[in-house]
Structure 1
């Protein structure tokens, strides 16, 4: 993947050696990831790739992809990393869900992680949770609730994956109800409400 090449080019020699060895250890012993995942920042540095992704985050996703697990077993292992991780580690897990789904048959086993992140008030976690994996795997009602949660906490809906394809009349109705409630309370309506309505084909509310 392009991000692999970018990461390899950005790492110094020691970082490349550490990551290669860490991937091999994760592949041989999935339990090793619990020790290696937190160590990635120290081993791979605090810099960012040209894409803006932190190097440590990209390295952590590489460790996830090295795990010889599939489906529910993979979901449990990744949820443990998320549950015990700090914010940066949780972001790496959330952003790793889509590649895990595409390359390691994660399926719906990552949805508990998405749901947990969406219950928080941390805008970084919420934005990461509303990524490509959620767009592909959340059912319609859960996806609509995720979009509205972004509106409530100020996460730009432009960052919500799949919105152009999944915005529908029910989401428009929910957004319009939110707008009416805010107007009745004398509060401004977030501009993102209009974006949702436009994508859903509803011009007025």
Structure 2
């Protein structure tokens, strides 16, 4: 779906029924990547089981801690720490499943945020636009350091360097390598930088 305006260009790219929004003007560029979300019943089932199991154990431990004596309370409290960390990790995963990614470059600065319903949950340190010096497109591959090595998986991503700070957009279930290439071309054209391909 393409929407064109007289003074600025704003368009959406549909990919698997999800829209990536690019807003472009002479002095302003904004890219909004929607959250990955939960796509199918299998994902819901796996996520539900992984989230519910630690929660059930934690509820049981909280009630157990209430009813036992002090010596056992300490033991149960320590026993509940790994389960608490699993539950918090699952909560962090849920938050990131529903967070938009917003890359914004204006006359003064570049910023990258992850937000849910307008609330910023994480933000990279903004840099001056003048510091943007490199645009890098890293293809997904396996990097081997020796012939007997199992290799390291390098995730596909797009990286904008501003001095020593990097702002990266990685491939995801809704953002393919083709989409990253498209974003790299848009940014290259708008920033007037060549794309370094790794």
Give the TM-score taking structure 1 as reference length: 0.26
Which is helix-richer, 1 or 2?
1
**Which protein has the larger Cα radius of gyration, Structure 1 or Structure 2?**
2
